[in-house]
Amino acid sequence: QVQLVESGGGLVQPGGSLRLSCAASGIPFSIYKMAWYRQAPGKQRELVATITRFSTTDYVDFAKGRFTISRDNAKNTVYLQMNSLKPEDTAVYYCNAKNQFIAAANYWGQGTQVTVSS
């Protein structure tokens, strides 16, 4: 059974930082492309950042320079370090695991709430 369990969300003031974690089980984690998405109230889910099995990273524009995605294959965990947080970063953040060779092997976590407010 595949499980992706996010943690690390919470309430933070503007300008603050949070580190999200996503622990994976039930998959050969090291070969999966991992990603973070987010969904704000009333909006569609959007991509935040990706990291390949070779640890090549990519970010959408709003995340560049503020967010850092990383992975620890020994711990089957992917991270999202978020700095200089803004109120518009408020959303539920989701972890995604995708096997680039098997279309059906695409998994989601349950999400973790991030609220940026003073």
- Cα gap 63→54, rounded to integer Å: 20
For residue range 58-72, what is the model confidence (pLDDT) as tens digits?
999 999 999 999 999
100: pLDDT confidence band, cut at 50, 70 and 90? confident
Distance CA 6, CA 66 (A): 20
Q: What is the pLDDT of residues 14-60, one digit of tens each?
A: 999 999 999 999 999 999 999 999 999 999 999 999 999 999 999 99
